[in-house]
Amino acid sequence: MKTVSVRGLTKEFKLGRRRSQYRTVRGWFSRGTRRPAAPADARFMALEDVSFDACSGEILGIIGRNGAGKSTLLKILARILRPTSGHVELQGRVGSLLEVGSGFHGELTGRENIFLNAAILGMRHSEIVRKLDEIVEFAGIGQYLDQPAKNYSTGMYMRLAFSVAAHIEPEILLIDEVLAVGDAEFQKKCMQRIEQVGKHGQTVLFVSHNMQAMLRLCSRAVLIEEGKLVEQGPVTDVAATYLRVGGDNRGERRFPEGPFAPGDSVARLRHVRVRSRGGETLAAVELNQEFGIEMELDVDTPSMVLFPVLIVNNEWATEVLWCTDVDTEWHGRPRPTGRYRMVAWVPANFLSSGPMSITAAVYSLAPRVEHFREPDVVSFQAVETYGNETARGKFTGYIGSATRPKLEWSVDYQK
């Protein structure tokens, strides 16, 4: 049965309003005298003419880069935002898990938080009472139930929040990037929970950058790029398209100056590309060719120890490479403000062939802060080559490994 039907959905933001967050009376009076931040009619199309359906029992994946419009879509379905045009038809109650724990309060006990949050998510009192034991059990906070939540560890806090959200039983469930929560074991529990929801005939719309979770949970997916729905179909096809196509900027992605680029007040991403030693941008890299992953970022707060991290994923969303800069003088050293251009050099004959996708991130530790993490920021093609200089050599069969290093071999021969 069709439970979600989205037709021609469009959402336009007025930029001036969005940028200034809220207006002040002072702004009224000085409107004529001060230079406006954006032209009064500056608009931004977050979603443009998006149409798709989802059925009961289905887990539909929504794939796209940061800022593509996925969250806007979910917020419209959750009725937090109003569409500019188009319409949505929903059969049944909608529950959203857009960000777990929004309504938590440290002074309240675990039990009080459960009741309050379940009510925020739309549960009735009788339902909450019925589900209480299950929620506590799933979160694994048993003996701490009547302790104030401020005494909880971050892990307990997040587990409780997810547990409350996971036990609302709407016909349609919206999930936005929640699997980044908790330890590996708890994540597994979450995945199982979502799978179960799908099996009970509910509809799940699932947004995540975790392609492995996506491939495991969903059967069908839609791909959104710059507000437009560009592909829908079996999740394997859509995920492959997503990882293969880097938009118009193959092998390179530049972010606008100013605060709209990914990042925070400490570090902001400016530019990522795949390059050769000669400085040329590469959309495709031959396997027997050395290449560099270049990341340019601004550090705006001095004296922070920052860890730039680059990750390469293959088309099946397996991380084939994770690296941080331990090679230069900057490792573990506080950085003055300024622009840093860093290149990680990937040796020839290391990757396997296929579409590759780069994730760029910057962290600081103690406390661990993610200043930005831009999944699939740039994609490139690792191109098959044959011959003696390659790891494949004269072998022509299929190779399915994640990496394909050219290793040193030794052979002892006996007759």
**What's the min distance (Å) between Cβ of 53 and another protein?**
14
Contact string 33-72 vs another protein (x = CB under 8 A): ----------------------------------------
122 lies in the binding site for another protein (CB under 8 A): yes
DSSP state for residue 261 in the 8-state scheme = S
2 lies in the binding site for another protein (CB under 8 A): no
**What's the min distance (Å) between Cβ of 335 and another protein?**
31
**What's the min distance (Å) between Cβ of 376 and another protein?**
24
Beta bridge partners of 310: 323, 360
Of 18 and 333, the one with the shorter C-beta distance to another protein is 18
Residue (of 262, 255, 264, 217) closest to 239 by Cα position: 217
**What's the min distance (Å) between Cβ of 37 and another protein?**
16
150 lies in the binding site for another protein (CB under 8 A): no
Exposed, middle or buried by CB within 10 Å (0-12, 13-18, 19+), for 13? middle
By three-state DSSP, how is residue 305 classified? strand
Phi/psi for 319 (5° steps) reads -75, 115
Distances (CA, A) of 311 to 28, 182, 297, 339, 359: 47, 21, 16, 21, 5
132 lies in the binding site for another protein (CB under 8 A): no
Give the list of residues 6+ apart from residue 149 with CB closer than 8 angstroms, or none: 104, 105, 106, 107, 108, 109, 110, 113, 157, 160
By three-state DSSP, how is residue 41 classified? coil
Q: Between residue 298 and residue 327, which ones bind another protein under the rule CB under 8 A?
A: none
343 lies in the binding site for another protein (CB under 8 A): no
Phi/psi for 166 (5° steps) reads -70, -15
Contact string 350-379 vs another protein (x = CB under 8 A): ------------------------------
**What's the min distance (Å) between Cβ of 48 and another protein?**
15
Stretch that binds another protein, among 79-87, 193-201, 230-238, 405-413 (CB under 8 A): 79-87
Helices (DSSP H) in 273-371: which residue ranges? none
Stretch that binds another protein, among 47-55, 100-108, 153-161, 270-278 (CB under 8 A): 100-108
**Helical pair 154-166 and 184-199, crossing angle rounded to 10 deg:** 0
Cα end-to-end span (Å), the chain = 70
Interface residue with another protein, options 54, 96, 273, 379 (CB under 8 A) = 96
30 lies in the binding site for another protein (CB under 8 A): no
Q: Between residue 7 and residue 26, which ones bind another protein under the rule CB under 8 A?
A: 13, 17-18, 22-26
Query: How many angstroms separate the CA atoms of 16 and 39, rounded?
Result: 7
Query: How many angstroms separate the CA atoms of 309 and 312, rounded?
Result: 10
107 lies in the binding site for another protein (CB under 8 A): yes
**What's the min distance (Å) between Cβ of 115 and another protein?**
5
Interface residue with another protein, options 51, 91, 187, 249 (CB under 8 A) = 91
Interacting residues toward another protein by CB under 8 A: 13, 17-18, 22-26, 75-91, 94, 96, 98-99, 102-103, 105, 107-108, 112, 115-116, 119-125, 128
